Amino acid sequence: MRERDKKIAKAAIKAAKEMLRTLPDDQNLVMGREVLTGKEVKKKFEVDDDFAAKTAEQILKLKLDTLVRKKHDDE
Amino acid sequence: MAAEFIFIAPRFDKATEYSFAWCQAVEKYAIDKGYDVIILNKEQATRTRVEEELRGWPDACLIHYDHGDVDRIYGDGEPVIDLDNNVLLTKRECFSMSCLSAKTLGVDSYHRYHTTFWGSWEVISFTTDALDEFQRAMNFGIKLRLDGVTDWNIIMEKTLENDNDIIDELIRKGKIFAAALLRQDRDARRVWTDKTPPPDQNSKCFWRNLLLTLFGNRAWRISKPF
């Protein structure tokens, strides 16, 4: 991986981890039929590459969404 | 009495415990509004009962909470509507908060049976630290319908606005993961109506594809081409 890509990935991983910290360990994430505790979610992020990538994508999309909506409201 | 709304709300695993409670809130809302309703909760939500009630009340709006897949929605552990019996959704309004059912089931029901279908294109996700907020988001659309709004595209528009308000509320409360999941659920929601039909698709049947080429999407409503 290029140095540039590594830096971007590192930033996305950091943001995703910060987002996951907002889910308390004793609360649940429900994804269809799958139910995980907050603690299990954080563990899954470390070991499941697809889940980690999807989580990083979620925080980026949320940020983009709020910015786009803010711009739309400002106009 | 003519049933106006038929509710299907199984409860057989952890996920359905939450959605069952959400559906109960909508059931109460409908009853308080004075509607005649059929309620198929928990073990009453069988395929046989669902088919019986749908046959009995062809004009009733169907409200379904929880599990689904691309080509089916589930009742008490078994599919209650799938591609073998979705003829029962003919010209019916169908609201389902299940995962994925807007895909094959929703598209097929719209094309072949002129169903107005509300569902999700993706897996529904939520967190239990924001159950109240997710309940408000998931129930908002169908409550508008119960308030008397009959244009599902207007219901969708207002539901999206409500989702945005709740996403902002979750961010203010520091529930960022919940906000991210609600954004995902918002973007996965679909309503198939004549104003917002599903994207064009091909059939597995050669003859139907031929008719689709000749007549466009109207060809889906020819029951059995050959």
**Domains of chain B from N-terminus onward:** 5-195 (3.40.50.1460)
Alpha-carbon span A44 to B177, nearest angstrom:
15
Q: Tell if the CB–CB gap between B183 and A33 is shorter than 8 Å.
A: no
Tokens of B78: 């078994």
Tens digits of residue pLDDT in B152-208: 999 999 999 999 999 999 999 999 999 999 999 999 999 999 999 998 766 667 777
Distance from CA of B124 to the nearest CA of A (A): 6
Q: Alpha-carbon distance B42 to B203, whole Å?
A: 35
Q: How many CB pairs under 8 A join A and B?
A: 71
d(CA B5, CA B30) in angstroms, rounded, equals 8
What is the domain count for chain A? 1
DSSP symbol at B87: G
Q: Across chain B, what does the average pLDDT equal?
A: 93
Q: How far apart are the C-alpha atoms of B167 and B148, rounded to whole Å?
A: 26
ipTM of the complex: 0.93
Task: Report the SS3 class of residue B79.
Answer: strand
pLDDT for res B205: 72
Residues A74, A72: Cα–Cα separation, whole Å: 6
DSSP assignment, residue B222? S
Range of the domain at A43: 3-74
H/E stretch holding B78 reads: none
Residues of B in contact with A23 (CB under 8 A): 127, 129, 175, 177-178
B209 against B186, higher pLDDT:
B186
Question: What local confidence, expressed as pLDDT, does residue A75 receive?
Answer: 82
Residue B226 has pLDDT above 60, yes or no: no
Q: Give the one of A23, A62, A65 whose C-beta lies nearest to B127's C-beta.
A: A23
- pTM score of the predicted model: 0.90
Q: Which of B12, B73, B126, B128 to mutate to test binding with chain A, by most A CBs within 10 Å of its CB?
A: B128
**pLDDT tens figures, B65-88:** 989 999 999 999 899 999 999 999
Q: B128, A30 in Cβ contact below 8 A?
A: yes
Return residues 27-66 of A near B (CB < 8 Å). 27-33, 35, 38, 58-59, 61-62, 65-66
Q: How far is CA B158 from the centre of its chain?
A: 17
**Which residues, 6+ apart, have CB-to-CB distance to B219 below 8 Å?**
B208, B211, B212, B225
pLDDT at B192: 96
Cβ distance of B127 and A32 shorter than 8 Å: no
Are B179 and A61 in contact (CB < 8 Å)?
Answer: no
